Each structure stands twice: as C-alpha cells, then as structure tokens.
Chain A
Amino acid sequence: MASIFAEHHVGLVRLAFIMVGDRATAEDVVQEAFARTHAGRGRLRDAGKALAYVRSAVLNGCRSVLRRRAAVFRRAVPYEPPAGSAESAALVGEERREVLLALRGLPRRQREALTLRYYFDLADDEIAATMGIGVSTVRSTIARGLAALARALGEDA
C-alpha cells in the first residue's frame, strides 16, 4: 500500500486539491488517508484494486473536509465581485476559475465523476470502483454533470 501512495502521491494530492481547493488541506487529506489505509495493509490481496481503494480513501477524506466547511460557511454571504465595470467583472470570472467554480457548484457525485474522468482519464469501471457506484450510474452521472456544467457556462454540451 505504501508503494501505491509513493507512486501516486502527486496524483492523489492533485485529486484532493481539485476537490477541496487548497493545497495544505489536500496534502493533509492524502496524509490522513495514507495513515488510515496503512493500518489495514496486507488485508488487500488484489493489487489491481489497491489504487481504486486508495483513491476512494482520498475522496472520502475530501468529502468530510467539505462537509465540515459547509457547516462553517452556511451563514456566509454570497460573494459579489467588487466590479466597477463589466470589464473587471469579466476578469474575476477568468476562464479557469469560472469552470472550476461551476464544477464546484455541481452535486458531489457529478463533481467527483467529472474530475476522475476529465483529469485522471479513468474508464467507467475504474470510476465506478473508486466511487463505489455502478458503471451505468457513472455514465449517467457524467452525462448529467456535463449538461449541468454546460448550462452553468452557457455552452452547448
């Protein structure tokens, strides 16, 4: 298990980073997942499943971070860009931020499935194993997620 983490450390931190949005937390999440799965090492016989297992552990860590944060920010006021002009409003919505914000606005399952597909290029069955859902659910979740993202970004899917 340790070698899986070693080989995929950067990728796992990137996955967590995309999910939680800041690097320090992302590193903590991966470290925690490492510490937790470390305890259960040896129990996992099928090496082919180890990576999916580790990714699930990281995703789970991200979910609990986001839950904790949601509780903290529930009362926060929606952020209005301090725009003096349409030009600066457009700057706030810079390409990358706009897409990531839209992604963050999606329901958790769509967000996770889209990240695993479009960042990690995982196949349907790999995504299914990582998220613990069925393969057909993965397909429909990705389709719905893309459509929602397209709506949010004002594009054709």
Chain B
Amino acid sequence: MNSPVEERLRAALAEAGATIDPDTLRPLRAPARGRARMNVRLVAAGAVAVLAAATAVVGLGTGLGGTAGQDHVAAIAPELAEPGKADMTVFMCSASAMAIPEPRCQGREATAEEVREAERVVAGLPEVQASYTVDRRLAYDGFRAQYVGNRAILDLVKVTDLPVAIRLTVREERDRRKVEKAFRSVPGVMAVVDNTASEREAAAAREPETRLNVFLCGKEAITASCGAESKPGGDAPGGVTITKPGKAVTIAQKKAIEELIKGMPGVQSFTFEDQRAAYENFRRQFASNKRLLDATKVTDMPESFRVVLKPEADWTRVVAALRGQPGVSSVFHLPCSTAGLLVMYRYGLNLPDGTMCGQGGNNLPATP
C-alpha cells in the first residue's frame, strides 16, 4: 500500500508534468550537420503547431468582427489602467530589487516579446473578460497618485521599479486558478495574483479600530521565534531547510500571554481562536479550492489571539511586548500588513518590511 507521502508526491509530479502540453512543444531540431532524417512524427507535430497558430489568428480576426461563438476573445478595457479595478493581475519580470522574488525571472526584465506572448495567452483564455496592459510609466502614475501623502515611499520607489502589469477582469463563476495555471510555464512572468481578496482586506482595514493577530507556536513550528533552526538549503533558489523544528506553545505560556494582553491599557477587547475555529474560517475563505482544503488538516492551523486596540493606543509598543513573549510565533498589525499586501497585489512591489507604516517590521516573525 502506498504511504500518504508517496501519494502526495505522485499527485504533485503528475500535476507538474501535465502542465507540459504535448501539442505546444517546440519540435526538436536535428543538428545542422547531421544527415539523419528527422522522424516524421516530429515534423508533423511542428506542422500542427503552425496550423494551430494560424487558426488562432483567424479566430481573433472573426472575433473582432463580432462573429458569434468567438466571445472568448478578451476585450481591451482601458478603465483597468486605474488601480483597484482588476480581478487579477499578471506581473511581468522586473530586475528591480523591490520585485517579487521569482527564480524564473533570474533577475532580468521581461522582454517586449515576452509581454506580447503573455498578452496572447490572456487573449486566448475563456475565463478572461477584459484586459489592459499597464506599462511601468502608467503604473508609476497610479502608484504616485495613491501614495501622494507618503514621502518615504515616493522617495524609495522609482519608475523603473514597477513591473509591467496586465490587469484582468474575470468572467463570473469562472475558475481563477485556471488563469494562474495558464501562466505557470509562460516565460517572463513574475507572478499572477488574485486582487479580490487584497482589495476586500484593504476595504476592511479602513475600519476605525486597529487589529492585531497574535499567532502562537504550533508543533513543528518553523519560525525562529519558536526555536526553529534553518539553513539556506537545496539548490532551489532562495530555499531554506528547517534543520530543527520549533516547540509548541505550552499551557503556562498561553496563560501568560493571555494575562499580558488582559493587562495592557491599549487593548479594547480580545478573543482566542483555537485550531478548530481557525480551520472553520479557513474553510469558509477557501471553499472553492478543494485541493487546498483536502491538503489542510485542523492540526495544521495555528492558534491565535485576536486583539482589538483602542484608537489612541500606541500599537508599536503592544506589538513589541507581544513579540518578545515565549510561545508567540508572529504578530501581525493588520493595517500595515494589509498596506504591504495591497502594494504588492496592485503594483507588484515587494517593499522592505515596515515601509508601509513607519517604524518596525510588520510581517516578519518575531525575533527570538
């Protein structure tokens, strides 16, 4: 009988392999000097690819002519140039130090041809309703308009830091994961993001009260604050190997954290979220993603304290105090985390921690 690990490995490899569509492979070329005849099937495959390309062009032509049945050709929608209106965004590779880290980009810019290729992929996706390619100049204009009041950010980010973005709207009820999947093997693509969740969080973060999420160490914790040790490992770029997992929070530590929160003058209210409740929330949020739900168990979820601060409270002190507490894995100040999320999802920028709200890091695990 196969073990769960074998099953998972088999499934993951099958899915990875399946992203290579035999019909779109470049035909092999015999070396110029070789005299051997190419296999007929290879040549035929090449011919089929050329034919398919020709058909696509014809399809596009009739689609623009308004012929019925061609409604999968995505419309061009200039109104998407305005940030915050897209359902999803495809970011092209950027050489900026503030780019989203993606090994596939190898630190270089996407070429004009790669952008065109990505646009062609977008145009062929039945899920996509409309799209607009935002060049870096246009993206920078939107960025500056949004952060007009934030000198530090405007000084930090230059026009050359912004990646070219293709902003999309997705037809209702269509599977967005298919859009993401379609770009996994397209060269020059840095990231494909779903903007709906980040825009919703951004809207929620405009509520007056400030919220903190205080995550506690679980068993096999991977953050340094829980005592885990890691080293850069493997030859996967940027990969780390956990050499020693951390320790779960103890009952005594949990009690101490609760007492600490209770005694803080800046705290308006707080609740404890156990693994079961965290799992329920998780399930609601990712109801459409069956594979993810299948792969996640109740025991994978972290326990946390959800803290609401008084409007006048000095959140930096509260965060610092909680981060130093044994058994605390990480503390998120939601307004800052959300701002960081938004700048990444709207503009493809991975800004240094703390940039979005002045002092202190906001989405780094606590230091031990």
**Which residues of chain A have a CB within 8 Å of any CB of chain B?**
2-3, 5-7, 9-10, 13-14, 17-18, 21-24, 26-27, 30-31, 34-35, 38-39, 41, 66-67, 69-70, 72-73, 76-80, 82-88, 90-91, 94-96, 98-101, 103-106, 108, 114-115, 118-119, 146, 149-150, 152-157
Contact = CB atoms under 8 A, between A and B. Distances in A.
20 contacts: A9-B22, A14-B17, A18-B13, A24-B185, A26-B20, A72-B106, A72-B237, A73-B103, A84-B338, A87-B286, A91-B286, A94-B292, A95-B291, A101-B236, A103-B12, A146-B5, A146-B6, A149-B5, A150-B5, A157-B5
The binding surface of chain B is classed by DSSP as: mixed
B337 A84 contact: yes
Contacts of A66: 235
Contacts of A2: 30, 36-39, 42
B15 interface: yes
A39 B340 CA distance: 54
Given A21-B104, A35-B30, A80-B363, 8 more contacts: A13-B20, A41-B36, A86-B215, A88-B197, A96-B11, A98-B295, A154-B220, A157-B5
Nearest to A4: B39
B5 A153 contact: yes
Contacts of B237: 69-70, 72-73, 76
A99 B31 CA distance: 37
Nearest to A10: B22
B120 interface: no
A6 B42 contact: yes
Contacts of A150: 3, 5
Interface stretch (B57-65, B81-89, B149-157, B277-285): B277-285
Interface stretch (B128-136, B251-259, B261-269, B296-304): B296-304
Contacts of B103: 21, 69, 73
Contacts of B241: 105, 152
Contacts of B232: 78
Contact of B39 (A3, A17, A24, A149): A3
Interface residues of B, number: 79
Contacts of A88: 197, 341
Interface of B: 3-6, 8-17, 19-20, 22, 25-26, 28-31, 34, 36-39, 41-42, 101, 103-104, 106-107, 185, 187, 197, 201, 213, 215, 220, 230, 232-242, 278, 281-282, 285-286, 289, 291-292, 294-296, 300-302, 304, 332, 334, 337-338, 340-341, 344, 350, 363-364
Contacts of A26: 20
A77 B104 CA distance: 15
B235 A70 contact: yes
Nearest to A41: B36
A129 to B, nearest CB: 20
Contacts of A41: 36
Given A23-B20, A95-B292, A84 B334 contact: yes
B286 A155 contact: no
A90 B282 contact: yes
Contact of B12 (A35, A82, A95): A95
B223 to A, nearest CB: 10
Contacts of A114: 9
A84 B340 contact: yes
A18 B302 contact: no
A22 B215 contact: no
A108 B14 CA distance: 20
A38 B34 contact: yes
A88 B200 CA distance: 13
Given A17-B17, A30-B28, A115-B13, A86 B236 contact: no
B101 A149 contact: no
A104 B220 CA distance: 20
B201 A84 contact: yes
Contacts of A35: 29-31
B155 to A, nearest CB: 22
Nearest to B106: A72
A76 B101 contact: yes
Nearest to A71: B235
B40 to A, nearest CB: 8
A76 B107 CA distance: 10
B12 A10 contact: no
Contact of A86 (B230, B278, B294): B278
